[in-house]
Chain A
């Protein structure tokens, strides 16, 4: 290490209390910022997963025009089974499930409930929809079921129905005529969210298509291997569909879960913006703390610096000295931040925060029809180390800018004259 660097390092040790307080400030500030970012990342990842696993998938192939109109009457017509196989053939795609939703009424005796009846492929639907995995009575749908129905526990309770009861399902066809069928209750599912359990009404795809009176499927919900790569994957799916040239298939769009749920993403962005604002304030306080400490150091060493300037040290060397001190502070601050942040990050990533216990709804929380995991966890990875290093060093270097500019005021001639 050259003498300049030793000078910078030892200068930090000159006022150990001030340096220690600066380091603690940098450490705590950067640790809070790292925890906040890990939390936001965790929340974002969990939201993506919850959205996908609520039956929407990470990607959806929808009829062209749906994204703008959100018109549930639009259908993918033609050889949609071949289309499904085409999508399944794209590398990175794990599950493709066709879905149809039909607005209708369920009637049992004197009781009636309006529902959105979902028709799907039972096998793939169970893979993509977490809310139907816990069957409290009977069973879930099977591929060869006909006129079978599965309800959420709350809906079954409101209709006061039991297994094997025949329930009248009525829907309105495109012609305006009423379509009614008798469906047999084969199972009751329990998601843990009362509001979601009040909406679950599932039947097989063909029964839903028949009731709705519209040919084709409403969408394909898709799971993928790498949720972070949904953007490029969507493009690959589109290319595969274009290349397949399946006859009679109306034009389709491939959308990411973000495009499917703009309001959810907007809420998430607002949440992240708030968190970022807090991080900004924390980092600003760290910067101001460093500025204050460094400025004090420069003021206290005015005579020393003026002597060195008199000996021929250039201003840029003085700046380098000040920034080297800031760099050392930043590196040590990052180490301290890692020490401070590790327990919190470990707890939040391994144990998490149980919002279910806080809200009294232990199995999950409903947000826009999406069942969120009640236990929220931070997303912690190797990224934390470079993040803390860049943040701590960046903050301390920025904090050193004003003291460095202030050092320009040091006039060796006048200070020596005054001191002598």
Chain B
């Protein structure tokens, strides 16, 4: 684990849903630190709390208790607007189902987030084309999501996430809907962004293809951290959880 800046710090993080007898404890006191420039996989079986934790770390949800600091901000002290600001300017999201706006082209999907950030029209267009070119989508810039393959759509989603050069990229099962070739290509591309631009990546996944690329694997089970292992890049990681 590097000694660099701490981007995420969670202490005794708890998230409960429902009340009384129907209450579900999705996170049971998570302690976690993610440093700047890490490439981390968050693994575990379905229902282990991966997405719930990702929602917490991405300032999409409020913890029931515990302390959570992301990018130097104590999320417990931020209101909804401040959390939106944090996500908009400093966190990039990649979703399992891509979630591109279907009526906008690839370029417009990327531009839209830059427009939300207040980037002026000329600059956002330039940056959108640049990042799409970077990810090998230059020729597809004016195509709509329905005209793109799943792999291409996910690359557009990545372009949208990284266009504003955020410090932190959170990805929720980014390869779940992709075949092996596209999944591998996507991970290689994200790895390259990480290496070249020093972005911090955190993936919630149970896909071995993602884990293979991770430098650190945090395993969750029943809302708790089961293990937290650092590994050399490229080293194979095998756990029983891969097979779930």
Please report A residues at the B interface, Cβ cutoff 8 Å.
Answer: 2-4, 6-7, 10-11, 13-14, 303-304, 307-315, 317, 412-413, 416-417, 419-420
Contact = CB atoms under 8 A, between A and B. Distances in A.
Contacts of A412: 60
B76 interface: no
Given A7-B104, A309-B84, A310-B60, A416 B95 contact: yes
A312 B88 contact: yes
B103 A7 contact: yes
Given A417-B52, A420-B172, A420-B173, A307 B115 contact: no
A303 B55 CA distance: 15
Contact of A7 (B55, B88, B101): B101
B87 A311 contact: yes
Contacts of A313: 84, 88, 116
A311 B103 contact: no
A310 B104 contact: no
B87 A303 contact: no
Nearest to A4: B115
B-side interface mostly: helix
Contacts of B111: 3
A43 B116 CA distance: 52
A329 to B, nearest CB: 16
B118 to A, nearest CB: 11
Contact of A420 (B80, B81, B97): B97
A299 B189 CA distance: 35
Contacts of A14: 102-103
B184 interface: no
Contact of B104 (A6, A13, A312): A6
15 contacts: A2-B115, A7-B103, A7-B104, A11-B103, A303-B97, A307-B93, A310-B60, A310-B93, A312-B113, A312-B116, A312-B117, A313-B116, A317-B116, A416-B55, A416-B172
Nearest to B115: A3
Nearest to B121: A2
B108 interface: yes
Given A6-B104, A309-B84, A413-B55, A420 B96 contact: yes
Given A14-B103, A310-B60, A416 B88 contact: no
Most buried by B among A311, A413, A420: A311
A1 to B, nearest CB: 10
B104 A3 contact: yes
A404 B6 CA distance: 39
B51 A10 contact: no
B76 to A, nearest CB: 16
Contacts of B91: 312
Contacts of A312: 84-89, 91, 113, 116-117
B192 to A, nearest CB: 22
A3 B160 CA distance: 14
B99 interface: yes
A313 B83 CA distance: 10
B27 to A, nearest CB: 13
Closest 6 CB pairs of A and B: A312-B88, A307-B99, A10-B103, A312-B87, A413-B60, A413-B61
B51 A314 contact: no
Contacts of B84: 309, 312-315
Contact of B116 (A6, A13, A311, A413): A311
B151 interface: no
Interface in B169-204: 172-173
Contacts of A13: 103
B235 to A, nearest CB: 28
B104 A307 contact: no
A7 B51 contact: no
A324 to B, nearest CB: 13
Contacts of B112: 3-4, 7, 308
A151 to B, nearest CB: 78
Given A10-B103, A312-B87, 13 more contacts: A3-B108, A7-B101, A14-B102, A14-B103, A303-B97, A307-B99, A311-B116, A312-B86, A312-B89, A312-B117, A315-B84, A317-B116, A420-B95
B44 interface: no
B114 to A, nearest CB: 9
A36 to B, nearest CB: 37
Interface in B182-229: none
Most buried by B among A3, A10, A309, A417: A3
A316 to B, nearest CB: 9
B58 interface: yes
Contacts of B108: 3, 6-7
Contacts of A10: 103-104
B14 to A, nearest CB: 16
Most buried by A among B60, B81, B172: B60
Contact of A419 (B93, B97, B103): B97
Contacts of A416: 51, 55, 60, 95, 172
B115 A304 contact: no
Contacts of A309: 84
A413 B103 CA distance: 23
B3 to A, nearest CB: 30
Nearest to B112: A3
Nearest to B99: A307
A11 B102 CA distance: 9
Interface in B105-163: 108, 111-113, 115-117, 121, 160
Contacts of A317: 116
Contacts of B88: 311-314
A310 B58 contact: yes
Contacts of B58: 310
Contacts of B160: 311
B89 A303 contact: no
A312 B112 CA distance: 11
Contacts of A7: 101, 103-104, 108, 112
Contacts of B61: 413
B104 to A, nearest CB: 6
